[in-house]
Amino acid sequence: MVSIVEHTHIDAPVERCFYLSLNIDLHQDSTAQTRERAIDGITSGVIGLGECVTWSGRHFGIMLRHTSEITAYAAPTFFEDAMVSGVFRSFRHRHFFRPEGNCTVMKDNLEFAAPVPVLGKIAEALVLKEYLRCFLRERNAFIKQVAESEEWRKYLPV
């Protein structure tokens, strides 16, 4: 199992950051490079506890599918999504939101295991960890950009 932890400081209220992170449309817009699309389950708007979404996107030149469920939810400070089906042996992403004055510290804890145990350990260390870290950083930069501008109104009801 590999763990990635990222912290993002956002000059926006915690509630805005929390709900933007749960927004399917924002996720699709933030992943233009992989052309991720929600193809089943909750396919637009804000996803909630017990709800699932199936993503289809191009990673490593291959179209992959990944279904996640929101398995824990404590608005506006925490939610967790976990893989229901996909190419990983396991995949769990915990999202923490802490207000700091008028700002928010968003913490991601992503844990995953590659599909093939022996070769997977090599892939995890050499490729997957850095690939997923970059993917997460790009997504978080997009959330930050949206949350700190008036763009957030495109994704959340006022």
- Joined together, the tokens standing for residue 77 give 């400070």
DSSP 21-41: HTBHHHHHHHTTTTT-EEEEE
* Mean pLDDT of the region 96-124: 85
What pLDDT does residue 41 have? 98
- Judge contact between 7 and 97, C-beta under 8 A: no
**C-alpha span between 120 and 126 (Å, rounded):** 10
Q: Is the pLDDT of residue 106 over 80?
A: yes
pTM of the entire predicted model: 0.93
**C-alpha span between 110 and 85 (Å, rounded):** 16
* Mean pLDDT of the region 121-133: 78
Residue 64 sits in a domain whose CATH number is: 3.30.530.20
CA distances from 41 to 26, 82, 122 (A): 16, 14, 33
Least confident of 10-14, 17-21, 102-106, 119-123: 119-123
- Joined together, the tokens standing for residue 7 give 């912290």
For the chain, what is the domain count?
A: 1
- Joined together, the tokens standing for residue 2 give 């590999």
The residue ranking higher by pLDDT, 72 or 119, is 72
* Domain encompassing residue 141: 2-154
